[in-house]
Amino acid sequence: MPIYKAPLRDMKFVMQELFESSQQSSLSGSENVSEQDMDMILAEAAKFCENILFPLNLSGDTEGCHWENKEVRTPKGFKEAYQEFVSSGWASLACEPEYGGQGLPETIALAVEEMVCSSNLSFGLYPGLTRGAYQLLLKHGTDELKQHYLPKMVEGVWSGTMCLTEPHCGTDLGLVRTKAVSQSDGSYKITGTKIFISSGEHDLTENIIHFVLARTPEGPSGIRGVSLFLVPKFLTDDNKEIKQRNTVYCDSIERKMGLKGSSTCVLSFEDATGWLVGSLYKGVANMFTMMNNERLAVGNQGLGIAEIAYQNALSYAKERLQGRALTGVKHPEKNADPIIVHPDVRKMLLTMKTYNEGNRMLGTWVALHIMRSQKAENAVEREEADEFVQLMTPVVKAFMTDCGTEVASLGVQVYGGHGYIHEYGMEQYMRDARIAQIYEGTNGVQALDLVGRKIPTATGRYLRRFFHPVYGYIQEKQGDAFLAEFVGPLQKAFERLQQATITLAQRGLSNPDEIGAAASDYLRLIALTAHAYLWTKACEVAYKKKTGQESAFYESKIATARFFMQKILPQTSSLFACIMSGSKPLMEMKEEAFGPF
């Protein structure tokens, strides 16, 4: 049977040692959150995830959601777990106290979210989407809408969704057909069909607040005519008491590859009552507040799945006896050695461990910048932090979810035949991980966003928020004898990234296909360079502490970083070669040459 233990020690390392606690406590709202407070919160979250959510994961996958008479029932135990989740305050960690939130640092919320994703990703989608909906309404809603809806959403008794996709319309939101007609009382009547709506209907909350992209009849065509509307499942009175059912219904739920405990719905809006959020025709721009929040959250989903896949693969590799070590018997008292003695198994395990710990550092680095973008006293610092978040959002979403699937697949491989069997759990992790590379914008779209939009912005101003600290750190540490084996590979990867950036900028001016052909390789190149930077900084911390009481932990950090530099970072060389080869190998192929023949 699967196991899960929250990686609290590594979370503590990242939040309190790599990124010192003072970096968080210096920001408004976090002054009174001590390291002891962080430890206590994360320890309690770990207990909840390990003991309440994790036991429901395999059974929830087996049972799935039930749809009947336009209503959805979640798997057995989900409703009770959700009630305990919200009553314990886990839904409101980083929300504003003005609306009933606890105002805790984003880094704590991120760590708790990772535990939820590891222990039960299907369950995590329900409160996770509400958090994104909260951010959207907080930023773009009128005071009246915020006062009416946010307290209940923060409390967790009302949940939220994001309704973009239609049967004919996915990435290209300019094709949205859902119609919004204004009414004399200031509301709108919403009519249309939305598909692939996560948490669109369920039995966990009293009300579901849908954020819907639609167009008014008089609006311009294309994406410029799309607006954003709040459409609740139930209409409520001024006291937030449920008054009547709104005319939005679940026509069906999808039978999916994974995430079977999460309801993915087809929703029909039949003159449903809704209210405009933000300005008319700014719907897609406003929705990006939620979409970007969800993209960062989806990256964390990739890490959550990868972590539990690694833990189970490691446990299996230590217990499964097969063959003998190539260098001689290691356990003569046993009939065979555990498979962890074999180099190929160790390579898989180290790859999993390296990606997981690197992505935990990467996600926390971005979360700190989110906090600075919102809480820093200096306006320039807030703006620079936001630019860093804008740049790294597609990187976090795409790379961390790519790693999630890769690590889950490696976990299946470590298990061998048992990895393909349901009750061992590993095949579920691979199925659950796969969607994260697709929803909230496919990873190919993330790469295009990075290379085609984020990097060219203001002649590369966003990119400088990443380049400058990395370059400065390399220059500062070049003479450090302890770090030489890490700084050298980091510098080479960074130089490749610089050259690739210049080349793409030049080629893209005359041929946009050069951007598209290189985008995914470039995104992975910048992600691996970021990992190299963070692993080097991690080793700087570890070298100072490796002779203390926790020497084994810090030695493990250094050894894992060494594996990354020598076995994974060399990917940057092949990525650079692919980028430099240009678009011709892709685009010169005539369409008919693809076949079939």
Residues 455 and 578 in one domain: yes
In a domain, 523, yes or no: yes
| 448 and 578 both lie in a single domain | yes
Q: At what angle do helices 551-563 and 513-545 cross, to 10 degrees?
A: 150
Q: What is the pLDDT of residue 174?
A: 87
Looking at residue 170, its pLDDT comes to 83
Query: Cβ distance 383 to 460 under 8 Å?
Result: no
Q: Which of 253, 281, 309 is the last residue of a domain?
A: 281
Give the chain's domain count. 3
**Residue 370, in any domain of the structure:** no
Structural contact between residues 472 and 464, judged by C-beta atoms closer than 8 angstroms: no
Whether residue 81 is found in the same domain as residue 167: no
Q: Quick one: which of 341, 367, 359 has its CA closest to 403?
A: 359
Query: Which CATH number characterizes residue 88's domain?
Result: 1.10.540.10
484: left (phi over 0), alpha (psi -120 to 50) or beta: alpha
Q: What's the confidence (pLDDT) of residue 446?
A: 96
Backbone angles phi, psi at 29, to 5 degrees: 95, -15
Which contiguous run of DSSP H or E holds residue 196?
strand 188-198
554, part of any domain:
yes
Annotated catalytic residue within 106, 113, 155, 440:
440
Contact 235, 241 (CB under 8 A): no
**Residue 252 and residue 186 share a domain:** yes
- Asked about 84 being catalytic, the answer comes back as no
Does residue 423 belong to any structural domain of this protein?
no
Q: Tell me which long-range contacts 571-575 makes (C-beta under 8 A, separation of at least 24).
A: 571/524, 571/528, 572/492, 572/493, 572/496, 572/497, 572/525, 572/528, 572/529, 573/496, 575/496, 575/521, 575/522, 575/524, 575/525, 575/528
Q: Are 12 and 6 in contact (CB under 8 A)?
A: no
Quote the pLDDT of residue 566.
98
DSSP summary character for residue 278: S
Based on the fold, state whether residues 455 and 506 are members of the same structural domain: yes
What span, in angstroms and rounded, lies between the C-alpha atoms of 534 and 592?
46
Out of 106, 140, 174, pick the residue that ends a domain.
140
* Pick from 270, 266, 249: nearest CA to 198: 266
Residues 168 and 247 in one domain: yes
Same domain, 189 and 105: no
What is the residue range of 181's domain?
157-281
Cβ atoms of 375 and 413 within 8 Å: the answer is no
pLDDT at 277: 97
13 and 100 both lie in a single domain: yes
pTM of the model: 0.96
- Match 């979360």 to its residue by tokens: 367
Do 174 and 212 sit in the same domain of this protein?
yes
pLDDT of residue 31: 77
Query: Do 130 and 165 share a structural domain?
Result: no
98 within some domain: yes
Domain with residue 255: its CATH number is 2.40.110.20
Q: Is 196 inside a domain boundary? A: yes
Instruction: Give dist(CA 588, CA 144) in Å, integer.
Output: 56
Residue 238 placed within a domain = yes
Measured CA to CA, the distance from residue 73 to residue 69 in angstroms comes to 11
Q: What is the pLDDT along the chain (597 residues), one digit of tens a residue?
A: 899 999 999 999 999 999 987 777 777 777 788 999 999 999 999 999 999 999 999 999 999 999 999 999 999 999 999 999 999 999 999 999 999 999 999 999 999 999 999 999 999 999 999 999 999 999 999 999 999 999 999 999 999 999 999 999 888 888 999 999 999 999 999 999 999 999 999 999 999 999 999 999 999 999 999 999 999 999 999 999 999 999 999 999 999 999 999 999 999 999 999 999 999 999 998 888 878 888 999 999 999 999 999 999 999 999 999 999 999 999 999 999 999 999 999 999 999 999 999 999 999 999 999 999 998 989 999 999 999 999 999 999 999 999 999 999 999 999 999 999 999 999 999 999 999 999 999 999 999 999 999 999 888 999 999 999 999 999 999 999 999 999 999 999 999 999 999 999 999 999 999 999 999 999 999 999 999 999 999 999 999 998 878 999 999 999 999 999 999 999 999 999 999 999 999 999 999 999 999
Based on the domain organization, do 201 and 128 belong to the same domain? no
Listed residues 266, 281, 296: the one ending a domain: 281
Domain-located, residue 402: no
The per-residue pLDDT for 362 is: 98
In 205-241, which positions are buried (b, 16+ CB within 10 angstroms) versus exposed (e)? Answer: bebbbbbbbbbbeebeeebebbbbbbbbbbbbeeebe
Residues 527 and 562 in one domain: yes
Predicted local confidence at residue 20, as pLDDT = 85
